[in-house]
Amino acid sequence: MITRMSSLFLRTLRENPADAELPSHKLLVRAGYVRRVAPGGYSWLPLGMRVLRNIERVVREEMDAIGGQEIQFPALLPREPYEATGRWTEYGPNIFRLKDRKGADYLLGPTHEELFALTVKGEYSSYRDFPVILYQVQTKYRDEERPRAGILRTREFVMKDSYSFDLDDDGLERSYQLHRQAYIKLFDRLKLDYVIVSAMSGSMGGSGSEEFLAESEFGEDTFVRCVESGFAANVEAVTTPAPPAEPIEDKPQAQVHHTPNTPTIETLVDFLNGAGLGRTFSAADTLKNVMVKIREPSEKDWTLLGVGVPGDREVDMKRLEAGLYPTEVALLDDADFAANPFLVKGYIGPQALRDNGVRYLVDPRIVTGTVWATGADKVDHHVVDLVCGRDFTPDGTIEAAEVREGDPSPDGVGTLVAARGIEVGHIFQLGRKFTDAFEVDALGPDSKPIRITMGSYGVGVSRLVASIAEQHHDELGLVWPREVAPADVHVVIAGKDESVRDGAEKLAAGLDAAGIEVLLDDRQSSPGVKFADAELVGVPTILVVGRGLANGVVEVKDRASGERTEVAVDDAVGHLVKLIRG
């Protein structure tokens, strides 16, 4: 196909959009791929449509290759199935809800586990029917609090979501690995620089959830990696190696000190170091007790929970939430403190928690024999030399402390460094949460029902357009990988002579006949404007037809390297076909 820029619905912009910070956002708008039409809502202009469709095609090919079958659900979904799984409530303000003319509740689907589970239940009934992998490439909705970064975080977006249905855990593991391999192929084809990170899945089992993050300094997801071992994980999935237990016998007795005006770790450390206790304290020697309240999904009432971490670290609520999932977590409010007067703000210690029957979980570093300075449950008082396993005994450990660069890698090799990425894929062994909710069973060979186990797997299709742009651009514009580019060759007519125009038209026609997608700049603009637009638009190969034509040559420019090659006009089509087809 030949696309003529003289009639293409495209106006490139010289200025960056005022609200854009990310290169991908600036360039996709400037080069006329997308336009903002609402908060968190973008339209796809012709070039953007092509990149989006190319990505969709690659995604479909890789899903089909693992036996995935494409189906499609409505985006407008009734409340009932989501009520049955509790997600109608769980989603809180993050989904769009609406009522129809009869007052019935609907939502705009953010993800479709319920519907897929119900559909498989409706169609399949025998163990012989399984396994099955179903997918859709569909428009999804989330009422994001802060849509941002152009098409990277929008409220309406295209996702590929697939779901596997297996008879047993081994089957689920196979379906999971099929998706993992498919995603690797897919992101490789898209020339994406990505890492696969372990994603916390709390009580679901850690190994059954991984995220594919496109590396990007502007990514919203922080992850940590170990350069030495190749380990990479979400901070939620980082486990803290526990140091060996220490002997208790040689430790001094715990002593309560009057420590006026020391409600913070900093003030406490300063006080202790000025108190002539014969040694130097650091924040890491103190034990910080953070109070939260938790609630099981099925319960109505909250219960208190104490979380103890070394005083040099904050509690990372995302890690804490992931560690307790599906139990809900919230910080205490004033009413909670008022209702529990034994909690002395700034001076909470393990003693009061034990005495009042409050569950107490600690960071894995807090092992038997470690010695701590912590609150004495009384204003302006702290206890020093409080020994774990002697003076207090935690109810268990919890990964709640923040992860920092330099922390040891959980695999025991080297230390962690932090990095940022854009989540472009997620694979997740869901298990039986949804099949339990809807009683999705297969009749086994012994005529007994087998509860089906599910996996769910997402690819952020529209977000990939931005992720690829984020990794493939330079100061002049976009530099698309060949597989997703809006055209194969950008033919620039660089001259006003009839002969130049004719020559370019002939070359374009020759390329088109060879099945090459041509973007032909046949506008009346100056060569300078055309060259700048070619760099901005980012088709991987630029063919310049200009003055050289009189001498029988045209110029082939590689957009990525900037390398220019003179090619004889008569060889140009053959040269380009070879270049593009490889």
Residue 89 sits in the site that holds its own copies (CB under 8 A)? no
CA quadruple 81, 84, 86, 88: dihedral, nearest 10: 30
Nearer to its own copies, 73 or 218 (CB): 73
Nearest-approach distance from CB 35 to its own copies, in angstroms: 7
Q: Which of 175, 173, 168, 189 is nearest to 67 (CA)?
A: 175
Chosen residue from 69, 89, 177, 255 binding its own copies by CB under 8 A: 69
Nearest-approach distance from CB 182 to its own copies, in angstroms: 17
Task: Build a one-symbol-per-residue string for 11-40: x at contacts with its own copies by CB under 8 A, - elsewhere.
Answer: x--------------------x--x-xxx-
Chosen residue from 45, 373, 464, 469 binding its own copies by CB under 8 A: 45
Chosen residue from 56, 91, 97, 327 binding its own copies by CB under 8 A: 97
Nearest-approach distance from CB 280 to its own copies, in angstroms: 50
Angle value at C-alpha 70, between 121 and 436, nearest 5 degrees: 25
Nearer to its own copies, 134 or 442 (CB): 134
Nearest-approach distance from CB 445 to its own copies, in angstroms: 15
Residue 2 sits in the site that holds its own copies (CB under 8 A)? no
Nearest-approach distance from CB 481 to its own copies, in angstroms: 22
Residue 526 sits in the site that holds its own copies (CB under 8 A)? no
Nearer to its own copies, 44 or 194 (CB): 44
Residue 91 DSSP SS3: coil
Nearest-approach distance from CB 10 to its own copies, in angstroms: 8
Residue 451 sits in the site that holds its own copies (CB under 8 A)? no
Q: List Cα–Cα distances, 318 to 148, 222, 236, 239, 324, in angstroms.
A: 21, 11, 7, 14, 10
Residue 252 sits in the site that holds its own copies (CB under 8 A)? no
Phi, psi of 6 (to 5 degrees): -65, -25
Task: Build a one-symbol-per-residue string for 205-244: x at contacts with its own copies by CB under 8 A, - elsewhere.
Answer: ----------------------------------------
Residue 101 sits in the site that holds its own copies (CB under 8 A)? yes
Q: Which residues of 359-381 are buried (b: 16+ CB within 10 A; e: fewer)?
A: ebbbbbbbbebbbbbbbbbeebb
Residue 552 sits in the site that holds its own copies (CB under 8 A)? no
Quick check: 64 and 179 in contact, CB under 8 A? no
The one segment of 122-130, 177-185, 208-216, 574-582 that binds its own copies by CB under 8 A: 122-130
Q: What is the DSSP string of 378-403?
A: ETTEEEEEEEBTTTB--SEE---BPP
And the tokens for 123?
Answer: 């169609």
Q: Is the peptide bond before 540 cis (omega within 30 degrees of 0)?
A: no
Q: By rule CB under 8 A, what count of residues binds its own copies?
A: 53
Pairing between β-strand 489-493 and β-strand 518-521 as defined by DSSP bridges: parallel
Quick check: 317 and 200 in contact, CB under 8 A? no
Q: List Cα–Cα distances, 239 to 288, 371, 417, in angstroms.
A: 19, 22, 14
Residue with tokens 């992998």: 133
Chosen residue from 132, 213, 214, 388 binding its own copies by CB under 8 A: 132
Strand runs (DSSP E) across 209-327, as ranges?
A: 209-215, 221-226, 232-234, 255-258, 287-295, 303-310
Nearer to its own copies, 12 or 415 (CB): 12
Chosen residue from 2, 8, 248, 367 binding its own copies by CB under 8 A: 8
Q: Which residues pair with 139 in a beta bridge?
A: 158
How far apart (Å, rounded) are the C-alpha atoms in residues 531 and 537? Answer: 10
Residue 122 sits in the site that holds its own copies (CB under 8 A)? yes
Chosen residue from 25, 27, 88, 96 binding its own copies by CB under 8 A: 96
Nearest-approach distance from CB 186 to its own copies, in angstroms: 19
Q: List Cα–Cα distances, 56 to 9, 53, 160, 455, in angstroms.
A: 22, 5, 8, 21
Nearest-approach distance from CB 532 to its own copies, in angstroms: 18
Chosen residue from 65, 104, 331, 529 binding its own copies by CB under 8 A: 104
Q: Which residues pair with 126 in a beta bridge?
A: 443
Quick check: 196 and 211 in contact, CB under 8 A? yes
Nearer to its own copies, 172 or 232 (CB): 172
How far apart (Å, rounded) are the C-alpha atoms in residues 116 and 162? Answer: 9
Element containing residue 362 per DSSP (H, E): strand 359-362
Residue 74 sits in the site that holds its own copies (CB under 8 A)? yes
Burial class (CB in 10 A: 0-12, 13-18, 19+), 41: middle
Nearer to its own copies, 123 or 296 (CB): 123
Nearest-approach distance from CB 33 to its own copies, in angstroms: 11
The one segment of 46-54, 190-198, 209-217, 417-425 that binds its own copies by CB under 8 A: 46-54
Nearest-approach distance from CB 420 to its own copies, in angstroms: 26
Chosen residue from 65, 83, 98, 413 binding its own copies by CB under 8 A: 98
Name the H helices within 223-349: 265-273, 317-324, 334-339
Pairing between β-strand 381-387 and β-strand 371-378 as defined by DSSP bridges: antiparallel
Which residues lie below 8 Å from residue 494, measured CB to CB, with a gap of 6+? 500, 527, 530, 531, 544, 545, 546, 547
Nearest-approach distance from CB 129 to its own copies, in angstroms: 9
Q: Which of residues 144-183 bind its own copies (CB under 8 A)?
A: 145, 155-156
Residue 85 sits in the site that holds its own copies (CB under 8 A)? no
Q: Which of 365, 371, 368, 349 is nearest to 252 (CA)?
A: 371
Nearest-approach distance from CB 490 to its own copies, in angstroms: 17
Chosen residue from 46, 205, 297, 515 binding its own copies by CB under 8 A: 46
Chosen residue from 2, 16, 78, 248 binding its own copies by CB under 8 A: 78
Q: Which of 567, 558, 512 is nearest to 539 (CA)?
A: 558
* Positions that interact with its own copies (CB under 8 A): 7-11, 32, 35, 37-39, 41-46, 48-49, 52, 67, 69-78, 93, 96-98, 100-101, 104, 106, 108, 115, 118-119, 122-124, 132, 134, 139, 141, 143, 145, 155-156
